[in-house]
Amino acid sequence: MTSASFRIGITPDVLMSNGQPIFGSEAFRLLEHPGIEWEYMPASDQITPELALRYDAICAMTTRVTPQGLPQDHYRLKLIARFGVGYDSIDVPTCTRSSILLTIAPDGVRRPVATSALTFVLMLAQKVWLKDKLTRTGRWAEKSDHIGTGLTGRVLGSLGAGNIGAEMFRLARPLDMKFMVHDPYADPGQMRELNVELVDIDTLFSTADFLTVHCPLNQQTHGLVNARLLGLMKPTAYLINTARGPIVDEKALLEVLVKRRIAGAGLDVFEVEPTPADNPLLALDNVIVTPHGICFTDECMQGLARSAFTAAVDLAQGRSPSFAVNAVAGSHLR
C-alpha cells in the first residue's frame, strides 16, 4: 500500500470456516480501482483507535463502535459501511463526533429478510418442525394430531412497515391473507397501495394470526413486546421475530409459550446472542429457532457486500454514499 491509497478494512467475521468470504469473490471486483487497497482487518470485537487510524473506510459485519473504543475526536477513518441494516451495535453519536459516516445496506436485506419472515409463517402454519420429527422417529400415525393452520383469510400482522415489512406484504399477496400493521411512521399511501390496514398496537396484537416483528432496536422499542401485549394475542396466534431479540421480552414470551397462551413462535434473534444452549426456549416443541442467520443466502450476502463496497468506493471517489444513517457527519468529509 502507498501512503496515498484509500485503505479499506474488512472485518474478518465475514469469513466462513473454510476461510472464504460469505459473499463469494465476485463482489471484490467493485474494489478494483486505482488508489484503492483493501485487506481483512485483525480480529476485534470493536473498532479501536489503532484501526481508525489505519483505514479510511471499514466494512463491518458485527464489529461494535463504542465511546470507550473511540475516545478521541479525529481519525483517518471516514466511513463505517455495515453489511446489514441494524446499527444498534454502533454508537452513532461517537461516529458523528469523529466525523465518521455510517451507512447501512437496506437493498441487501429487503427481499431476503422478508422471505425469511414468510418462511417462518409457512413452517409454523404447516407445523413443519413437528411433522419432521414425526417422520424421523417413525410416528406417522400421529400426523392427524398436528393439524396446521390454513392461511386464506388469516391476518398477517407486522410491527413495523418499513423496508422489510412492506416487502413482506408484497410477497404475501398471493396467499389471500388480510394485512395489518402498527407503525407510527408508516406511509399511509404505501399502505393503501399494499392493502394493509394501519391499526393501533393493541389491535395488532389482539387480531393477528401471524405477528411479525420488523422494527429497529432503539430506546423506544427495547422490550416493546412485553407481557401485556403478548397477553392480548389469540391462543391460536404465532409470533415471529427476525428483527432484534431485545425488542421482545424473552421471559414474558417464554411464559406464554409454556402455558400455551399462544400457539408458537419463530425466532431468528434472541436477547443474548449467541443464546445459551440451556435457554429454555430451545427446549419447547412449539418454537422454531435459527441462529440470527435465517436470511443468510447467496442473494443476501452478495447484496450486502455490493452495498458496503459501493459506499466505500463512492467515498474514495468523492461521491456521497447512499443510505447514510448520520448524513451530518458526511457534510465535512470532502
CA geometry: angle 308, 312, 314, nearest 5 deg: 115
Choosing from 292, 306, 332, 334, which is the catalytic residue?
292
Choosing from 228, 273, 299, 319, which is the catalytic residue?
273
The residue written with cell numbers 481508525 in the block is 52
DSSP state of 244: -
327: how many CB neighbours lie within 10 A of its CB?
14
Helices and strands per DSSP (H, E), number in the chain: 11, 12
Q: Which residues pair with 257 in a beta bridge?
A: none
Question: What is the DSSP annotation of 252-285?
Answer: HHHHHHHTTSSSEEEES--SSSSPPTT-GGGG-T
> At 142, phi and psi to the nearest 5?
-90, 0
**Given the DSSP bridges, would you call strands 210-213 and 196-198 parallel, antiparallel or unpaired?**
unpaired
- The residues near 46 (Cβ < 8 Å, ≥ 6 apart) are 63, 64, 65, 66, 69
Give the whole-angstrom CA distance, residue 109 versus residue 303.
7
292 given a catalytic annotation: yes
Choosing from 82, 110, 244, 250, which is the catalytic residue?
244
Catalytic residues: 244, 273, 292
